[in-house]
Structure 1
Amino acid sequence: MTTLYGIPNCDTIKKAKKWLEANKLEYQFHDYRKDGLDENWLIKTESVLGWETMLNKRGTTYRQLSDEQKNTINKESALALMLKFPAMIKRPILIHSDSYHIGFNAESYSQVFA
């Protein structure tokens, strides 16, 4: 089972979906906003990828945090923010055969599905 996690209007998600479809790979798309975000999933995913890797510092939501919030962010506060604002999670997260991958790169995806 392959699941792609993210938000549908994200350009990187669109590229990942296009690549998966072009390579005739079946996947399920989990939309954080429509399907929700489970705290247990977030904790499990963080244990594999790490909160610093998962935190999208380039997004609008992160940039709107106060300087104090940015300077004191830690695992606990980052997870709380990601749970409240799923757009703060880097996209996409791909889970394939119990293997976790973050971001999209065609060459990396080719290796994942080799």
Structure 2
Amino acid sequence: MITYYAYPKCTTCRKAKKWLEQNNIEYNEINIAETPPSDGELRGIYEKSGLELKKFFNTSGLKYRELGLKDKLKEMPEDQQLKLLSSDGMLIKRPLAWDGEKATLGFKEEEFENTWKREQ
């Protein structure tokens, strides 16, 4: 089953959720703003995903810009970045879907097809 971190008001999250439902993929939805993943959970997702840590940041988000993270992240140690991400779910690119082995950030239909579609 997929753990699906999303923000209910996010249109991209709603599109991804609709795709999961249309493709009969089981998921457990968690409101990323109310219950962001812990820094330990994020570290596990990050390490297994093979994605760059900077891809986990919601670079178009208000909070990201308010904190001036574009320039700060380059110098920030990985541990500190993970702590920052886990401190505020709105800093995390969403939706974040994770099954214990694979992860996707954001919603691109082709990526969801390749990652989450089960062979029928």
Query: Under TM normalisation by the shorter chain, which class is it?
Result: 0.7 to 0.9
- 2:35 and 2:59 map into 1 onto residues whose CA distance is 23
Q: Larger deviation: 25-34 or 7-16?
A: 25-34
1:111 offset after TM fit, Å? Answer: 1.8
Where does the alignment leave 5 or more consecutive residues of structure 1 unmatched? none
Distance 2:16 2:3 in 1: 11
Q: TM-score, normalising length from structure 1?
A: 0.83
Q: Show structure 2 runs of 5+ residues with no match.
A: none
- TM-score normalised by structure 2 residue count: 0.79
Q: SS at the partner of 1:29?
A: strand
Count the aligned residue pairs. 112
Q: Determine which structure has the larger helix proportion and give its number.
A: 1
Q: Which residue of 2 aligns with 1:109?
A: 112
Identity of aligned residues (%): 29
Give the aligned CA root-mean-square deviation in angstroms: 1.9
Q: Residue in 1 aligned with 2:30?
A: 30
Question: 1:89 Cα deviation (Å)?
Answer: 0.5
SS of 1:35's equivalent? coil
Aligned-residue offset at 1:77 = 3.3
Q: 2 CA distance for matches of 1:105 and 1:70?
A: 23
1:97 and 1:64 map into 2 onto residues whose CA distance is 32
